[in-house]
Amino acid sequence: MKKTILFFLGLIIASVQTYADTRATALLLHNGQGKSFDADQLQQAVNEAVTGDTICLSAGTFMAGNEGTLLINKDIALMGAGGEITIIGGNVSIELEDNPIINRYVLDAIRIKGNVTIGKSIRGVHIRKCWISETFKAQDETEVYDIQIDRCYLNSFFPSLCMMSATVTNSIMSAVGKAGGGVSASHDNIFIAGHDINFMNCSIYELDLYCKLAATYTNSIIYLSIGNQQPHNNTLINTLLTSGTSYPTASHITEQGGNVLQNCYSYKYNATIASNNDRFPTFSIKNEDMVQNGFLGTDGIVIGAYGGSNPYSLKPDGISVKESILRVDPETRKLNVTLKVATE
């Protein structure tokens, strides 16, 4: 039964993707019925949705909403056609009342060209295969728990004092501890302890040591490039500490200051680290280099975002369209759609 439901859901999404040859379309799914919205009506689709609904987004660019921000204020899911081809052209703010527990993917396979902000206390916000061009963060004094980020690209992951628990897996981050692409003076030397922040099979290109995030890094790659402060209370397991010639890796993270290092590696190389809103960072060490040097995780697979059991990818899970043909019958003037779908 579950496979049948997924198949028909895939056909609905496929129809939206096919129609996206002419325009981006959002399809609100509610009790087995669908209602379509144009690219500039995404906020209207969210407003008309109720708890448990899903909004499927085709490839294309959607307006973010009032003043450039899409407000999600109910327990719904937005599912795109891929983290590189479905685009929300602004910010997304997640603000649900009464501190709910949702435990579902709120954003799936979408690129957000601005910030994603948790604006009110909540538990269980899950984000998968998204490209966030600016910063993922929680508002100050907003307690959030059980944030799950899976196979995403984040320009910046900025933990607030009230981000109590978060797990990031198989994701690429230009920076951790930076807000908006620069170090904020008001957050210099913040000591975030007693929180449960975990990074597993991640590739992190800038670890901002001025923001003293106490976190656990497992099977990850950390490129140390900002600041000369001593981080505190971090746990690093099977993690590769890398740097260029200008930054001495070993002196940045040691067992002083309450840090715990278990089976970690140190590796220097010359690499180009560059990123902006329209380009991923480049990173020279390849999987075959890590295998050759024995940089393997606790699961015996190469470390970093492309290792582990669920390697980094922005392509959507489940059913996707491999080929589509759109025709108009000249006699009946009906639209005929031929689809070839496959499961990932």
Query: For a pLDDT cut of 90, what percent of the chain falls above it?
Result: 38
Q: Is the pLDDT of residue 86 over 50?
A: yes
DSSP 258-316: G-EEES-EEEE-------BTTBPPP----HHHHHHTT-B-TTSSB-STT-SSS----SP
Q: Which of 170, 171, 52 minimizes the C-alpha distance to 104?
A: 52
Query: What does the alpha-carbon distance between residue 24 and residue 5 come to, in Å, rounded to a whole number?
Result: 24
| Residue 262 neighbours by CB distance under 10 Å | 11
| Residue 33 neighbours by CB distance under 10 Å | 7
pLDDT in tens, 243-276: 654 444 444 566 666 778 888 877 765 555 444 4
Q: What is the mean pLDDT of residues 227-239?
A: 71
Burial 120-148 (b: 16+ CB within 10 A, else e): bbbbbbbbbbbbbbbbbbbeeebbbbbbb
Angle at 65 between CA 64 and CA 67, to 5 degrees: 100
pLDDT in tens, 20-58: 344 789 999 998 889 999 999 999 999 999 999 999 999
**Res 339: pLDDT:** 45
**Res 332: pLDDT:** 67
61-75, 194-208, 279-293, 322-336: least confident range:
322-336
Query: What does the alpha-carbon distance between residue 229 and residue 340 come to, in Å, rounded to a whole number?
Result: 54
Query: 333 or 48, which is more confident?
Result: 48
**Mean pLDDT for all residues in the chain:** 77
**Res 134: pLDDT:** 92
Distant-in-sequence, close-in-space partners of 279: CB < 8 Å, separation ≥ 6: none
**Res 179: pLDDT:** 56
**Res 15: pLDDT:** 46
pLDDT in tens, 109-150: 999 999 999 999 999 999 999 999 999 988 877 789 999 999
Would you kindly state where each structural domain of the chain is located, as residue ranges?
90-343
pLDDT band at 288 (very low <50, low <70, confident <90, very high): confident
Q: Is the pLDDT of residue 234 over 70?
A: yes
